[in-house]
Amino acid sequence: MKYFVFFLTVSLALILFSASTVPAQVQTRVRVIQASNTGSTIANPLRDVHGQLGSLFNFSSYQLLKDETVTLSPNRPVEIPTHPGASLQLELTKKPTKDVAEIRVRVKREGSEILNTLLKLSPGKTVSIGGPKHGDGTIILAITARF
């Protein structure tokens, strides 16, 4: 009986410890990319996602407009200005589990919401989202979460 109580106590402690090792905050890297068919260049900082971009989108040129890392906490939106009149809002919807973080992504232009989606991100994986027209191309968001 003593061994059973000891085993139960140790098991409970391990369960509680493992549940608390997932951080409540998520470091999130956002790259705002302008994709177009003008030229055929890939900005050096985008080499790591070039294969993903090429398989998802049909453009010949990818230029990095913004590269920013923010720390997200549950239910605390972070707004990132992307260019005049437009912004990106990221919000961690709840504390992440060990293998998924849910991030709400909103894009606003001139105060109106033009994109509202929920991403489920795995640690270290990048998700690319096609966005609105911009100049002679289209905006693509490449979002990576680390937790």
pLDDT at 8: 45
- Residues 17-29: pLDDT tens digits? 554 455 789 999 9
pLDDT at 9: 55
Name residues whose C-beta falls within 8 Å of residue 41's C-beta, 6 or more positions apart in sequence. Answer: 61, 62, 63
Nearest-5° Cα angle at 80, 76 to 83: 160
Q: What tens-digit pLDDT sequence spans the chain (147 residues)?
A: 555 455 445 454 455 455 445 578 999 999 999 999 999 999 999 989 988 998 999 999 999 999 999 999 999 999 999 888 899 999 999 999 999 999 999 999 998 999 999 999 999 999 999 988 888 899 999 999 999
Is 53 in contact with 62 (CB distance < 8 Å)?
Answer: yes
Helix (H, G, I), strand (E, B) or coil at 16: helix
pLDDT at 25: 95
pLDDT at 135: 86
pLDDT at 50: 87
pLDDT at 57: 93
Burial class for 33, CB neighbours closer than 10 Å (0-12, 13-18, 19+): buried
pLDDT at 121: 97
Is 117 in contact with 38 (CB distance < 8 Å)?
Answer: no
Helix (H, G, I), strand (E, B) or coil at 53: helix
pLDDT at 3: 53
pLDDT at 77: 98
Domain boundaries defined on the chain: 23-146
CA distances from 41 to 38, 57, 63, 64, 73 (A): 9, 14, 8, 11, 36
Is 135 in contact with 34 (CB distance < 8 Å)?
Answer: yes
Q: Taking Cα atoms as reference points, which of 52, 45, 47 lies closest to residue 66?
A: 45
